Amino acid sequence: MTSVTMSQAPSESLSATAYGTLPPASTPSARKPLSLPRLREMHAHGEKITMLTAYDATFAAVADAAGVECILVGDSLGMVCQGLSSTVGVTLETMRYHTECVTRGLRRSQGVAWVIGDLPFGTYHESKEQALRSAVVLMQAGAHMVKLEGGGWTTETVRFLVERGIPVCAHLGLTPQTVHALGGYRVQGKTDESAALLRREASALQDAGASMLVLEMVPAALAAEVTQQLTHCATIGIGAGSGTAGQVLVLHDMLGMNLGKMARFVHNFMDGAPSVRGAMEAYVRAVKNVSFPDNSIHAW
Ligand SMILES: Nc1nc(=O)c2c([nH]1)NC[C@@H]1CN(c3ccc(C(=O)N[C@@H](CCC(=O)O)C(=O)O)cc3)CN21
Ligand SMILES: CC(C)C(=O)C(=O)O
Ligand SMILES: [Mg+2]
């Protein structure tokens, strides 16, 4: 009893000084902020990592309050918010603007989510120096980490950013920024050769210092294998089955809202949920207890 009082009193006064009055300890916003050490701990303990996209202040605050640990300001906003037919047309200025909206919402709601800014097409392709300049724009907008798409050719860039204190999330499998080279939004890593290449690239990205790796639209067995192979980099799946260290979905998709047809890996969490926050809480529960994704429905 004494130890509880002793350990709570100093942290309460410290928090009150730094952040003003905190909500009661039972509210989600009283959770510990996610950090790279906390991420490593979750990964090591096999606790699933939850991620959703968000593009504005209110949705970010609600997702955080629902217990979503990571918020990805995805360049999918080009398709979802701007009505583009791919993510290729999204600019760094647009990503900076939405990253600021999200981080402002989290600041005002005392949210603790880990914010990942998606580097858009063409802003990290030229050189590692260009990538650093682009990453700095998103970090100064409040992101904690940047994400970039691609395999071997990005490893030098990943190392350059990580050495300079910028946490990096890599992205393999279906990389939407290269949709025109891939010939559509198709499953990747189906052949022995492409699966072997993906395994090699995943290892190289981990060695370069990436602490997360999105695996998009790859067979569940391959994603599970890569997840086991990476001990220092947490895989985050989307259309990659239930064997990854965490999951991500596009916000509008999981709320049942889409301009075209839904991808197979999507589940509408508004089904049976009383509110948007309830749907997000259902998503967090389903990812944590590994009931989403269902490999017989949502994966390849
Ligand atoms: N709303 C939204 N959700 C996403 O998941 C998403 C975006 N936008 N924009 C960026 C990329 C593009 N993504 C996409 C887009 C289309 C399919 C799709 O049409 N999938 C079909 C066909 C699969 C196939 O041909 O093999 C499917 O049934 O899943 C999948 C992922 C994923 N990302
Ligand atoms: C689908 C996720 C991984 C993404 O990159 C985005 O939303 O832009
Ligand atoms: Mg993206």
Q: Is 118 flagged in the annotation as binding?
A: yes
240 lines ligand 2 (CB under 6 A): no
Q: Is 56 flagged in the annotation as binding?
A: no
Residue nearest to ligand 2 atom 5, measured at CA: 74
Report the percentage of the chain scoring pLDDT > 90: 88
Centre of ligand 2 to C-alpha 77, Å, is 9
Q: Is 76 flagged in the annotation as binding?
A: yes
Centre of ligand 3 to C-alpha 107, Å, is 23
53 lines ligand 2 (CB under 6 A): yes
263 lines ligand 1 (CB under 6 A): yes
pLDDT one-digit tens code per residue, 21-41: 444 444 544 677 889 999 999
Cβ–Cβ < 8 Å for 214, 172: yes
Catalytic residue, chosen from 69, 100, 201, 216, is: 216
Q: Is 216 annotated as catalytic? A: yes
How many angstroms separate the CA atoms of 180 and 143, rounded? 28
CA-derived radius of gyration, the chain: 19
**Greater model confidence, 12 or 48:** 48
How many angstroms separate the CA atoms of 162 and 151, rounded? 16
pLDDT one-digit tens code per residue, 188-203: 999 999 999 999 999 9
Q: Is pLDDT at 14 greater than 60 in this prediction?
A: no
Q: Which residues pair with 213 in a beta bridge?
A: 170, 235
- The residue assigned the tokens 């990571």 is 70
pLDDT attached to residue 19: 37
Q: Is pLDDT at 10 greater than 80 in this prediction?
A: no
Q: Is the peptide bond before 293 cis (omega within 30 degrees of 0)?
A: yes
pLDDT one-digit tens code per residue, 66-105: 999 999 999 999 999 999 999 999 999 999 999 999 999 9
Cβ–Cβ < 8 Å for 161, 131: yes
Mean pLDDT is lowest, of 16-20, 187-191, 251-255, for: 16-20
Q: Report residues near ion ligand 3: CB below 5 Å.
A: 74-75, 118
How many angstroms separate the CA atoms of 300 and 114, rounded? 29
236 alpha carbon, closest ligand: 2
Centre of ligand 1 to C-alpha 38, Å, is 31
Nearest by Cα to 277 from 255, 253, 247, 246? 255
79 lines ligand 2 (CB under 6 A): no
Q: Is pLDDT at 141 greater than 60 in this prediction?
A: yes
pTM of the model: 0.91
Centre of ligand 2 to C-alpha 70, Å, is 12
244 lines ligand 2 (CB under 6 A): no
Residue nearest to ligand 2 atom 8, measured at CA: 74
Residue nearest to ligand 1 atom 29, measured at CA: 263
How many angstroms separate the CA atoms of 100 and 229, rounded? 35
Residue 149 Cα: closest atom of ligand 2 = 5
214 lines ligand 2 (CB under 6 A): yes
pLDDT one-digit tens code per residue, 174-186: 999 999 999 999 9
Give the ipTM: 0.97
DSSP designation for 262: P
Centre of ligand 1 to C-alpha 46, Å, is 28
Q: Which residues, at least 6 apart from 231, have a Cβ–Cβ distance to it below 8 Å?
A: none
